[in-house]
Amino acid sequence: MALIDELKNAQKDAMRAKDKLRLGTIRMALAAIKQKEIDEKITLDDAAILAILTKMVKQRQDAAYQFDAANRADLADNERAEITVIESFLPQPLSEDEINALIEEAMSATGASGMQDMGKVMGMLKPKLSGRADIGKVSGLIKARLS
């Protein structure tokens, strides 16, 4: 089942259950997806939708951190609840061992030996890691191995 269909079905279920938080969060996600489709005049595939959902999680993490710093625990808790809802549509995150194995596989497949090969390794890993790992952290792990 396509991710957009999962979101729409979850929206209907949240309406039936009268779960306002889940319904509001799913509606926000669907609105962000629709906005991107209208802006770019395309139909998004699952990878693009995952990227939008991942971005939404990061935005909410930043907001929760700022609310905590401002002593607004009520708003921070709301952001964290929205993160939980959004993450339910994301694939399971990869463990550190799985990430390291994928890095090793990509480095051996590309024959990476130095920093000049960073782009090749990242290009090979990005589709496999999309929505399942923090690309910035993975990049740091690759840099450490190549230097």
Q: Which residues contact 33 (CB under 8 A, 6 or more apart)?
A: 4, 7, 44, 49, 52
Residues 3-20: tens digit of each pLDDT: 999 999 999 999 999 999
Q: How far apart are CA 14 and CA 11, in angstroms?
A: 5
Phi first, then psi, for residue 121 (nearest 5°) are: -65, -45
Classify domain 3-87 by CATH number.
1.10.1510.10
pTM of the model: 0.76
Q: Which of 4, 1, 26 has the alpha carbon at shortest distance from 85?
A: 26
H/E stretch holding 76 reads: helix 73-87
Given the candidates 1.10.10.410, 1.10.10.10, 3.40.50.880, 3.30.1300.10, the CATH classification of the domain at 96-146 is: 1.10.10.410
- Asked if residues 112 and 124 have their Cβ atoms less than 8 Å apart, the reply is no
Domain assignments of the chain as residue spans, ordered by start: 3-87, 96-146
Neighbours of 103 (CB within 10 A): 20
* pLDDT tens for each residue of 129-140: 877 787 888 888
